[in-house]
Structure 1
Amino acid sequence: MARARTVPWAELDTIFFDAGNTFLSMDFDRVAAVAAGLGVECSGRQLERAEAAARPVLSAALAERRTTEGGGAFRFYLRATLERLPASSRDDVELEAVVSGIAERLFSPGRNDRLWNRRMPGRREALERIRALGYRMVVVSNSDGSMARTLTRIGMDHLFDGLVDSTVVGFEKPDPRIFEVALDLVGARPGRTVHIGDLYAADVAGAWAAGVHAVLLDPWADWPEMDCPKVADLDELASLLPGPPGRE
């Protein structure tokens, strides 16, 4: 594999953040309760771990599926997660029935905020630490138009200088145009900007296509050796940031 790209930390003045699995999570306990009603006994914590393990699979599928949004993508995501639960041994028919049952109960177009509404522990504090250093901060999210509502609901909208929701702007990661919208929004330069997110194909490859630096979130070391920098969480990211240089 080619040598991993580096990030010029001392030259940065702007940070883009993915939302889901970066500082915002789905309500795993709710998903576990629905799964239990369909005969799948698991805890929210087990689902959280399985979801993280499924991310490389979802990332690889983006080349074919071309989207992380919509009912089909949600079902693929659910299936990949359920397959990684401990002692998962259901056949395809049984598994598909469970996936369909969960999707019917929890997927609601335009209302991702009903499921993706949990602030991840410690993330607000890490974001406050980064903001205190003086960086411009923008959320760049593949979402269904509900991200502004979600940020307000979890009390984190004030931490960011801007938000780019894919449904609102009409471009979805990894399309570089969504990053270009974000750059224009705050007057940032791609070479002085880094994006952090949890999916290589959407977040890393998409950012690079726009000339933006990128970091992959890998809290459980589920990704193999990659050609990009990785961090476990936003605290680790904050520890790498020296504060922005003087802006021109």
Structure 2
Amino acid sequence: MIPYAQIDTIFLDHGNTLVSIDFDWVASELEARRVVCAPDALRRAEAAARPEYSQRLFVDGVSEGTDLFSAYLLAMFNKLDMTACLPVPDLETLVAELKIVLRPDGRSSVLWRSVMPRVPDALAKLRDLGVTLAVVSNSDGTVERSLETAGLRSYLSVVIDSALAGYEKPDPRIFGRALEACGAQPDRTLHVGDLYHADVAGARGAGLHAVLLDPFDDWAVTDCERVPDLWAVANLLEVARTTTH
């Protein structure tokens, strides 16, 4: 059980915790290639692909140095209900084209730009509760810029980007860097993210508490708390503090 009433610091993943990819843009690029697919179908497929993608990346030994973005797109497209996408595309060809279009400079900040529902409200509530907030993200050096563009940077005390830190989740050193920067204690710190092997296992390896974001109940894990979004986390802290006072 997570002692929510004692939590005074929260680390947040970036992608799929604060911002999502721009599914409208991805859908429009697919449509330009004669693949008609609704943004909501893409959103659902991306979430469904996370367990498999997490396993492949962090358990099967695929590193961040590989063509990770292609693997990410392919995992998402493989989860699409093809009856909603006409004509049925050749996925490998599609991925080869889109990985260039969606990351024109090889960076992720343009694609990951949609603030997720109720995230500003959740961050404001957590800030009002006196919680120190930080981002701990596996990224490519663009997280700070992405947060500024999204209007979320002001809520955060610290931003740790793996490309700048020199190590990535689940390496406990990246969490240690964030703890030091925040002046936080691991037993009073909660990490929130969307990939079990990076976020939950990684945070626990550094002595932190962790919760998994699972908006559609896609994960078959039973050893961690799962919630649909950051707003649910903020409510859990608020209720815990109200109950203990």
Q: State the TM-score, normalized to the length of structure 2.
A: 0.91
Structure 2 match to 1:78:
73
Check whether the contact 1:161–1:186 (CA below 8 A) recurs between aligned residues. yes
Structure 1 match to 2:13:
18
Matches within 5 A, 1:71-220: 72-87=67-82, 94-108=90-104, 111-220=107-216
Helix, strand or coil for the counterpart of 2:191?
A: strand
Unpaired runs of at least 5, structure 1: 1-5
Give the Cα–Cα distance (whole angstroms) in 2 for the partners of residues 76 and 98 of structure 1: 12
Check whether the contact 2:35–2:89 (CA below 8 A) recurs between aligned residues. no
Q: Displacement, 1:151?
A: 0.8
Give the Cα–Cα distance (whole angstroms) in 1 for the partners of residues 65 and 118 of structure 2: 29
Check whether the contact 1:74–1:107 (CA below 8 A) recurs between aligned residues. no
Q: Displacement, 1:127?
A: 1.0
Q: Displacement, 1:27?
A: 0.8
Q: Displacement, 1:110?
A: 5.3
Check whether the contact 2:172–2:202 (CA below 8 A) recurs between aligned residues. yes
Give the Cα–Cα distance (whole angstroms) in 2 for the partners of residues 196 and 19 of structure 1: 9
Q: How many residues are matched?
A: 237
Q: Displacement, 1:11?
A: 1.7
Identity of aligned residues (%): 46
Helix, strand or coil for the counterpart of 1:172?
A: coil
- Write the deviation string for residues 174-204 of structure 1: whole angstroms up to 9, x where unpaired: 1111100000001111111010000001100
Alpha-carbon RMSD = 2.0
Instruction: Give, as a single letter, the amino acid of the residue that structure 2 aligns with 1:20.
Output: G
Unpaired runs of at least 5, structure 2: none
- Write the deviation string for residues 58-116 of structure 1: whole angstroms up to 9, x where unpaired: 1111222444x4661111110111111112699x9921111111112112455311111
Give the Cα–Cα distance (whole angstroms) in 1 for the partners of residues 222 and 143 of structure 2: 29
Check whether the contact 1:28–1:48 (CA below 8 A) recurs between aligned residues. yes
**Runs (4+) off by over 3 Å:** none
Check whether the contact 2:9–2:133 (CA below 8 A) recurs between aligned residues. yes
Structure 2 match to 1:237:
233
Instruction: Give, as a single letter, the amino acid of the residue that structure 1 aligns with 2:124.
Output: E
- Write the deviation string for residues 140-172 of structure 1: whole angstroms up to 9, x where unpaired: 011110111111111111001110000011111
Give the Cα–Cα distance (whole angstroms) in 1 for the partners of residues 218 and 123 of structure 2: 24
Structure 1 residue 44 and structure 2 residue 45: aligned?
no
Q: Displacement, 1:226?
A: 2.2
Q: Displacement, 1:225?
A: 3.8
Instruction: Give, as a single letter, the amino acid of the residue that structure 2 aligns with 1:227.
Output: D
Q: Displacement, 1:8?
A: 1.3
Give the Cα–Cα distance (whole angstroms) in 2 for the partners of residues 208 and 16 of structure 1: 12
Which stretch shifts more, 234-243 or 182-191? 234-243
- Write the deviation string for residues 220-244 of structure 1: whole angstroms up to 9, x where unpaired: 1111142101111111111110477
Higher relative contact order (CA 8 A, sep 6+): 1
